Amino acid sequence: MDPGVPLVYAGYGALIMTTFVSYLSHQQVWALEENGVLYVGGQANRAKLDFEIELDQVLTDLPETAGTPN
């Protein structure tokens, strides 16, 4: 019996698990306020068009505030 067989099986199991995890969707959104101007950006690994539509809707629903920055 080869003592490295359990290590090979464990590595293969980890490979299979990370393959399934790579199919999960994630999204990131960044916001920066500078001199009273709000800059927003983001990225998604899947469903990019849906992410763009959802981000546009969220930004449209944000209330606008007028005034000087603190």
SS3 37: strand
Checking phi first, is residue 62 left (phi over 0); if not, alpha (psi -120 to 50) or beta?
A: beta
Q: Which parts of 4-62 fold into alpha helices (H)? A: 5-21, 48-61
User: Do 10 and 17 contact (CB within 8 A), yes or no?
Assistant: no
User: Do 68 and 56 contact (CB within 8 A), yes or no?
Assistant: no
Task: Give the tens place of pLDDT for each residue, 37-59.
Answer: 889 999 998 888 999 999 999 88
pLDDT at 31: 92
Task: Give the tens place of pLDDT for each residue, 24-33.
Answer: 888 999 999 9
Tell me what percent of the residues of the chain surpass a pLDDT of 90: 53
- What's the CA angle centered on 58, arms 67 and 23, to 5 degrees? 140
pTM for the whole structure = 0.55
